[in-house]
Amino acid sequence: MKKIVLIYAQGRSGTSVLTRLIASSDRFYSGRAESPILYLLSQLISLKKSFNNDRFYLKRQQFLLFERFILIVFRFQTIIGSFYEAFKSKKLNQLPKNLNFKKSILVTNLPVLPVNNIELNHLKDKFEIELIGIVRNPLEVLSSRIAFPGFKYSTSDHVKDILDRHSVFKKNCSKFITYDQLKSKKIESILCDSFNIENIDMEVLDIKIHPTKKKQLEAKDIYRLVDDNELSFQFNEYIKWYENLQTILL
């Protein structure tokens, strides 16, 4: 069974950097980030299960053929994706380290979404899945999202979305690092000791990926920027959770 390491986090948390860092290791390579083929494959697996009886034998066989085709497309996409990531990062270490792709482990990122609970379970039918999570100070995530042109939400919508994703993250991911650890010299030993990932190229951390000008926010600003007091309270509790986590890890 093909192994896939999924970098699991919400956007603006350092997923791209962590993916490329792990891909620089001897056993890994990076593929297409947030692959739509991976989502399609999970839906096909779900549909196939709904035809799991003799009456729908023909339909089930058709889905099996289509599923095999999508698997081939997914493998091809990961190969192309690895060359694309190598080109973007100017690091050939993003490519498979072994000509036999079955022996190289794919690492890609999967954003935290409420539907991921279902998709993750489906993908486990086809792959050996390992989740590696990364969390970042929610104030920094919010600041980065506000500054990033790809997000078109109000501040209240941002806060609600971040809280929803954090709730899903805590349910699914028990093994994770923090953004501050990723940016520290300790990350090499952390990946080795906690995830058995060795021989990473620390120079990957010097490559600027999706940089944004971050507006500095403080916890007290949330009550001013968000109309809903309960939402502001929950977000500040999330900030405290992260700060306590940092205290424990340090």
Question: What is the residue-wise DSSP string for 100-161?
Answer: SGGGSEEEEEEE--TTHHHHHHHHTTTSEEEEEEEE--HHHHHHHHHH-TT----HHHHHHH
Q: What is the pLDDT along the chain (250 residues), one digit of tens a residue?
A: 678 899 988 888 888 889 989 988 988 888 877 788 887 877 777 776 666 555 555 566 777 787 788 888 888 888 888 888 888 878 888 888 776 666 788 888 887 876 666 677 778 878 888 989 999 999 999 988 888 776 678 888 889 999 999 988 888 888 889 998 988 888 999 999 999 999 998 888 887 766 555 557 887 888 888 888 899 999 999 999 998 887 777 6
Distance CA 28, CA 97 (A): 7
Distance CA 194, CA 130 (A): 12
Would you give the DSSP letter of residue 26?
A: T
Query: What's the CATH number for 3-249?
Result: 3.40.50
Asked if 14 and 182 count as a contact pair (C-beta separation under 8 A), the reply is yes
Domain boundaries, given as residue ranges, for the chain = 3-249
What's residue 99's pLDDT?
63
The H helix count followed by the E strand count for the chain is 10, 5
Asked if 110 and 6 count as a contact pair (C-beta separation under 8 A), the reply is yes
Asked if 3 and 70 count as a contact pair (C-beta separation under 8 A), the reply is no
